[in-house]
Structure 1
Amino acid sequence: MTQQTLIAGVGMVPFVRPGRSEAYDVMAEKAVRAALADAGLDYALVEQAFASFVYGDSCSGERALYRVGITGIPITNVNNNCASGSSALFLARQAVLSGVSECALAVGFEEMRPGALDRIFPTHADPLEHHRASVIAAMGLSEEEQALPPALLMFGSQLEWAARELELSDEVFARVAVKARTHARHNPFAIFRDPLTVDEVLAAPTVWGRLRKLYACAPSCGAAAVIVCSPEFARRHGLRTDVAILAHEMGSDIASDLTPPNVPDALSRAATQRVAQRAYARAGVDPMDIDVAELHDCFVSNELLSYAALGFCAEEELTGFVREGRNTYGGQVVVCPSGGLLSKGHPLGATGLAQITELTTQLRGQAGVRQVEGARLALQHNGGLGTAVSVAILQRRD
């Protein structure tokens, strides 16, 4: 068994709004070919593949990867809500760590529809039933409010909880959205690159309660791919060895996250804390060692609570953390230099792998205008309701 995995290659396509993308299999092929070219690797040397998506029929992974090559390798299709891409990478890395494969591929893609996310199979048992019930009971929501699409109900409640319990103001929420656009300005893969002001964010229409339109990410389409391998495989084939995954931990809920009813832990705060602590311990690093991070900023409130859950600051310090610019260039840690989900976009199956692609680019020193100077340690955080939480720690190797 090897104790380390390297990132041999990364690739992605520009994210776009629904209705403007190529077909999912075409986007996936382009992302995989970009990763192979980045690695300088022939697809015939890839021994396993893991394909992540949410909005697609079973075996969409085979459909996508057969465009690259029909080589007989095992292809596993992965659906873990918004953490699907991270889950595919988690499995690919496990395949390498176990010695079953020396080189594995994770590819994520999504061809989404416009509008708020809702259930695909409403006649089946609701996988979010316990999470919704916890939030509904904690917030005392009316029957009319309970009929809202799950993402609006749950993250709108998270936003209200953060304002009420942590005394976070709309100005602080807006600053997170402004920071996302500022970072995305120089990212050619991001959808929304026009800068925003706090006043513009606060002038945007509200969707429900305190939730403003610009507080949330938009449905989007895209694909990303990551190739991982063992150090021995990299040396044998002359591949780059400059970025390693020191730790990649995943987890789900424990019973106390949902009972008694509460909002933040039903939306992964406690799970993120547990998974992050394991990742830091596995990597042998501290939260204050992290130079750059890509967080699951599907809503501004989720980014804010993640700062504290990941150990960057305490919850009572969140207002100062944002106002003092500790979350951007020149601060404590540069958060979402890509623009994050809020500005880059959030094609569910591709998101986690796009985060890894950005962080790999940063650690290689290849991010151009958005480069985080001297970046050596990077953290990826990705979460899917239901619950699946991923925290990965990457390191630049000299």
Structure 2
Amino acid sequence: MSGKGRKVYIIGVGMTKFEKPFSRKGAEYFDYALEATTKALVDSNLTYDKVEFAAVGYCFGSTSMGQRSLYQLGMNQIPIVNCNNACASGSTAIYLARSQIEGGLYDCTLALGFEKMQPGPLGGATPNVSRGNPMGPMMERMNVENTQLNPQIFGNAGIEYIKKYADRGASTDHMNMIAEKNHRHSALNPYSQFQDVYSLDQVKASRKVFGPVTLLQCCPTSDGAGCVILASEDFVRKHNLGPQAVEIAAQVMATDSPKALLAEEKSAIELAGADMTRRAAREAFRIAKATPDQVGVVELHDCFAPNELITYDALGIAPEGEAHNWLARGEFTHGGKVVVNPSGGLISKGHPLGATGLAQMCELTWQVRGWCGKRQIPNLKYALQHNVGLGGAVVVGLYKKAQFADGAEKDTSKWQDPRERFGYNPAVEVRRITENDFKKVVSTNGGVAGNKEQLRDDVRSLL
């Protein structure tokens, strides 16, 4: 967890548009990675030479894909760690990169996440004759039907929530409300894979996937990448990045408690990871010395609408058993108490597994900076991130605008607004990187994709 060492700041973010699998003809995972990483370095006004450590998250692929991706910008012999932590892989990469700075090992680190996925439903665990299934205990704990495992796990959690709080008005309509809200939010986010707005009736009438869970309540598979550059306070000051820095006030990773698999009384809500979310959120608020009512925006892991429903009170942003009522009153959208998933969430933005946590951090960084235009949440004090993977792992982070004892965050005398370097506002407009962008950030010695004089033709053709 964070809070025991040096402060860590987000100084650069970048992501690709999330797209239907194989929709960008000829693009490989490392092409998405190059775009996201170049954008994050342009944002932070740095070349790749400044990066001292990198952590790379992905789920589907072979070994050393992080090296293949980052070698494009330079072969600087820095440590590159590849990590697979289910759907929390992206935030796990952030967790690792942050820890290096907090522990005093490095001053500038990079977290990258990407995925190039197959079309179709997001699959669960696949039995393997030579290896034990990591989801085996979960499958044994529940009566698995002939359907996709993930919709079943989260769908059962939603059903349990509705039964548990039926006397307080909980119903399947509330899961439809979540999907309607997040699809509506995505209309303001150009990075979203889907930007269509649907009515409650349309959500309800879409194809059934499992129980009351419909297609429009489910995240799609996606191709995409995200990247974040992190730095120590000394590094921020040295490079005059105070005005754009976002402080990681707390970040906590947790895994499952006995409630998920060992408790005598089976609970679908606990099987879906509710207790590890409670643990991580509780610790994050303690470390940040903050309270849930100080949070103005949340990027929540809504892989399926039921997971958002059971996570409101696990995070503490709604009283236990009242989340559905708060949702119905509009407390989780613009104008309410806390805006949940202004990006459109996984349901509409998409879910390239390794990139999801990085995309959440991009959105929250832009929100804290105040760059988000029509989807901007005003007067933010804290932003909260929740990224979960079954099996299990969860990362909860709290972020806020950087404040330094000497007011360095207000000193713009040697600072250039990143939007001037981009030539546009990346929070509200999606553009591919240019050859000039690449030349700004590539290592002094060049990389596999080219150098400061010439980008490789095969790479240029995909920009």
TM score, norm. by length of structure 2: 0.82
Q: Give the gaps of 5 or more residues in structure 1.
A: none
Q: 1:253 deviation in Å?
A: 1.2
Structure 2: how far apart are the matches of 1:30 and 1:232?
Answer: 28
The one of 369, 390, 395 equivalent to 2:395 is 390
SS of equivalent residue, structure 1 residue 146: coil
Q: Which moved more, 1:210-219 or 1:41-50?
A: 210-219
Match of 2:257 in 1: 254
Match of 2:148 in 1: 149
The one of 230, 243, 246 equivalent to 1:243 is 246
Match of 1:335 in 2: 340
The one of 196, 204, 207 equivalent to 1:205 is 207
**What amino acid is aligned across from residue 164 of structure 1 in structure 2?**
K
Match of 2:18 in 1: 15
CA contact (8 A) 2:226 2:359 kept: yes
**What amino acid is aligned across from residue 248 of structure 1 in structure 2?**
Q
Structure 1: how far apart are the matches of 2:217 and 2:165?
Answer: 17
Match of 2:64 in 1: 59
Structure 2: how far apart are the matches of 1:213 and 1:108?
Answer: 26
Instruction: Say if 2:128 is the partner of 1:122.
Output: yes
Match of 2:284 in 1: 279
CA contact (8 A) 1:321 1:327 kept: yes
The one of 25, 30, 37 equivalent to 1:32 is 37
Q: 1:126 deviation in Å?
A: 0.9
Deviations along 1:4-56, one digit per CA (max 9) or x if unpaired, are 10101000000001121321100001100000000001110100000100011
Q: 1:2 deviation in Å?
A: 4.7
Structure 1: how far apart are the matches of 2:190 and 2:79?
Answer: 33
Structure 2: how far apart are the matches of 1:131 and 1:52?
Answer: 24
**What amino acid is aligned across from residue 213 of structure 1 in structure 2?**
L
Q: How does 1:1-398 map to 2 (within 5 A)?
A: 2-21=5-24, 22-116=27-121, 117-119=123-125, 122-123=128-129, 124-134=131-141, 136=142, 141=143, 145-167=144-166, 168-240=170-242, 242-259=245-262, 260=264, 261-398=266-403
Q: 1:314 deviation in Å?
A: 2.3
CA contact (8 A) 2:36 2:227 kept: yes
Deviations along 1:101-142, one digit per CA (max 9) or x if unpaired, are 1000000000011222133562221111112222x1xxxx3x
Structure 2: how far apart are the matches of 1:148 and 1:127?
Answer: 18
CA contact (8 A) 1:8 1:228 kept: yes
Structure 2: how far apart are the matches of 1:101 and 1:228?
Answer: 10
CA contact (8 A) 1:191 1:345 kept: yes
Q: Give the gaps of 5 or more residues in structure 2.
A: 404-463
Question: Share of identical aligned residues, percent?
Answer: 38
**What amino acid is aligned across from residue 86 of structure 1 in structure 2?**
S
SS of equivalent residue, structure 1 residue 291: strand
Q: Which moved more, 1:183-192 or 1:240-249?
A: 240-249
Structure 2: how far apart are the matches of 1:183 and 1:87?
Answer: 26
Cα 1:340–1:258 change in 2 (3 A) is same
Deviations along 1:259-315, one digit per CA (max 9) or x if unpaired, are 222211111111100110000000000011101110011111100111100111123
**What amino acid is aligned across from residue 130 of structure 1 in structure 2?**
P
**What amino acid is aligned across from residue 9 of structure 1 in structure 2?**
G
| Moved segments of 4+, more than 6 Å | none
TM score, norm. by length of structure 1: 0.95
CA contact (8 A) 2:259 2:271 kept: no
Aligned residues, how many? Answer: 390
**What amino acid is aligned across from residue 155 of structure 1 in structure 2?**
F
CA contact (8 A) 2:114 2:354 kept: yes
CA contact (8 A) 1:166 1:315 kept: no
Q: Which moved more, 1:200-209 or 1:104-113?
A: 200-209
RMSD: 1.4
**What amino acid is aligned across from residue 201 of structure 2 in structure 1?**
D
